[in-house]
């Protein structure tokens, strides 16, 4: 490990600190991303899962689509926290290449990962996510999950409205009622 990699790991440790060290870390990581992006992308494969999660956070802060492929790979990490932070970063970046992978996360067992996927999908505002979000809303087994799905559907606004209107004509009674309720909520 060279000096720059040691510094990067320290900066990632300080990334969320509301201190001058945290500000320095954020500025330094941004500068490193501009000059040597591979170093930060390699941090997504760091041994310590906390650093992998923080690397995903940093990539999300920059909003650069060049990180999407590596963040999509991080959705397959063995640690849930890393997968959740990667989902959040993908939502911040706003690249629709993430939609299918995030929709897949909605069907998982972990409520926090489903929450992260729903939040990210709301930021992406892709109409393809409306029906899966609606189905996840129907299956929500946690109030925070139900809230974030509702907020994500609402965030889609005019983009999601036609899909909700179509769902309100569904043959499935539960889907139809949920869509009608959400359309009324967002009116």
Domains and CATH numbers, the chain: 1-94 (1.25.10.10), 110-187 (1.25.10.10)
DSSP secondary structure string for all residues of 134-156: HHHHHH--SHHHHHHHHHHHHHH
Residue written as token pair 């929709």: 103
pLDDT of residue 41: 92
For 166, the token pair is: 């179509």
Tens place of pLDDT for every residue, the chain, 187 residues?
A: 678 888 888 998 898 899 999 999 999 999 999 999 998 999 999 888 998 999 999 999 989 999 999 999 999 999 999 999 999 999 999 999 999 999 999 999 999 999 999 999 999 999 899 889 988 988 888 889 988 998 898 888 888 888 888 888 988 888 888 888 888 887 7
Spatial neighbors of 115 by CB under 8 A, at least 6 apart, are 84, 142, 144, 145, 148
Contact yes or no for 137/150 (Cβ under 8 A): yes
Cut 0.85: pTM above it: yes
| Maximum Cα interatomic distance, the chain, rounded to a whole number of Å | 61
Q: DSSP state, 19?
A: S
């Amino acid at each position: 490990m060279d000096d720059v990699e040691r510094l990067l790991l320290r900066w990632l440790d300080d990334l969320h600190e509301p201190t001058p060290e945290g500000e320095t870390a954020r500025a330094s990581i941004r500068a490193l991303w501009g000059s040597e992006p591979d170093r930060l992308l390699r941090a997504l494969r760091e041994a310590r899962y906390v650093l992998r999660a923080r690397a995903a956070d940093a990539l999300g802060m920059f909003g650069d689509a060049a990180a999407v492929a590596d963040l999509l790979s991080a959705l397959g990490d063995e640690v849930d926290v890393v997968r959740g932070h990667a989902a959040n970063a993908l939502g911040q970046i706003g690249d629709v290449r993430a939609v299918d992978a995030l929709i897949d996360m909605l069907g998982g067992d972990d409520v926090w990962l489903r929450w992260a996927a729903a939040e990210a999908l709301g930021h992406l505002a892709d109409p393809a996510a409306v029906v899966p979000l609606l189905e996840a809303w129907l299956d929500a087994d946690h109030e925070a999950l139900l809230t974030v799905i509702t907020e994500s559907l609402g965030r889609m606004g005019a983009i999601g409205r036609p899909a909700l209107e179509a769902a309100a004509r569904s043959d499935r009674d539960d889907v139809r009622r949920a869509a009608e309720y959400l359309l009324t909520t967002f009116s």
